[in-house]
Chain A
Amino acid sequence: DIQMTQSPSSLSASVGDRVTITCRASQSISRYLNWYQQKPGKAPKLLIYGASTLQSGVPSRFTGSGSGTDFTLTISSLQSEDLATYYCQQSDSLPLTFGPGTTVDLK
């Protein structure tokens, strides 16, 4: 199975800050990497697929990059509505696996 790790596990930031979350796969997954946002008590929401393609309706302050084993999700200017937990997920091979999540809260 492909193991996904994320760092940091949590971070505190201020509105307007640039936030970067890293995801690493235990083996190469090309660009088969998706990012999800989950707010408390809500279902996850797809933000980015294929490592860097923004899902329809997602604000452009979210960007994804990377390939192979190392990936990054960046929020260029954090907004209060971005406070959530972010998960990466590989779709290269079964079983599909998620990272452990990164919780973003307000400093």
Chain B
Amino acid sequence: EVLLVESGGGLVQPGGSLRLSCEASGFYFSGHWMHWVRQVPGKGLAWLTRINEGGGGSSYADSVQGRFFVSRDNAKNKLYLEMNSLRADDTAVYYCARDSHHSGMDVWGTGTTVTVSS
């Protein structure tokens, strides 16, 4: 079964840091670009970042550029999102998603919740 499972969410104070993980199984992880997408409760979806198959290339939304950093460990089938200088408006459910060779995001994790509050 093709699965993505996020972890690492939780409560963090403004200005703090958090690292999310996304573990992949059931498919050739190294063969896919991967994305992080977030959703503020009750609101829409917002793309954050993507990373290429090898991990050497990534892009970011302006809202997280310079604060968030995406990486991957293909040997461990894991994707990461390092989040720094967190703000209240970063509070959201964070999803990792598999890129279907530039035909949409075809596999999504169940999400992990990040709450930024003092």
A interface list, Cβ under 8 A from B = 1, 34, 36, 38, 42-46, 48-50, 53, 55, 87, 89, 91, 94-101
Bound together, the chains give a CA A89 to CA B105 distance in angstroms of 10
Contact B44 A46 (CB under 8 A): no
Please name all residues of chain B whose beta carbon is closer than 8 Å to the beta carbon of A97 when the two chains form the complex. Answer: 47
Q: Quick one: given A44-B108, A46-B106, A49-B100, are A95 and B45 in contact (CB under 8 Å)? A: no
Chain A's closest residue to B106 (CB) is: A46
CA distance A48 to B60 in the complex (A): 24
B110 close to chain A: CB less than 8 A: yes
Q: Report chain B residues within 8 Å CB of A48.
A: 104
| Cα–Cα, bound, A48→B105 (Å) | 10
Q: Does B55 belong to the interface (CB within 8 Å)?
A: no
Question: Sorted from nearest, which 7 A-B pairs have the closest CB atoms?
Answer: A49-B104, A34-B104, A43-B108, A96-B47, A49-B103, A98-B45, A46-B104
Q: Which residue of chain A lies nearest to B101 when distances are taken between CB atoms in the complex? A: A49
CB A23 to nearest CB in B, in angstroms, measures: 13
Interface size class of B (residues with CB under 8 A): 20 to 34
Kindly report which residue of chain B lies nearest to residue A1, judged by CB atoms: B62
B103 with A98: CB separation less than 8 A: no
| Smallest Cβ-Cβ distance to B102: which chain A residue | A91
Contact B104 A55 (CB under 8 A): yes
Closest CB of chain B to A47's CB: distance in Å?
A: 9
- Is B72 in contact with chain A by the CB < 8 A criterion? no
State in angstroms the CA–CA spacing of A65 and B61 once bound together.
Answer: 28
Task: Give the complex CA separation of A5 and B109 in angstroms.
Answer: 25
Given A87-B44, A98-B44, A101-B45, 14 more A-B residue pairs with CB atoms under 8 Å apart are A36-B45, A44-B95, A44-B105, A48-B104, A49-B100, A53-B103, A55-B106, A87-B45, A91-B103, A95-B62, A96-B35, A97-B47, A98-B45, A99-B44
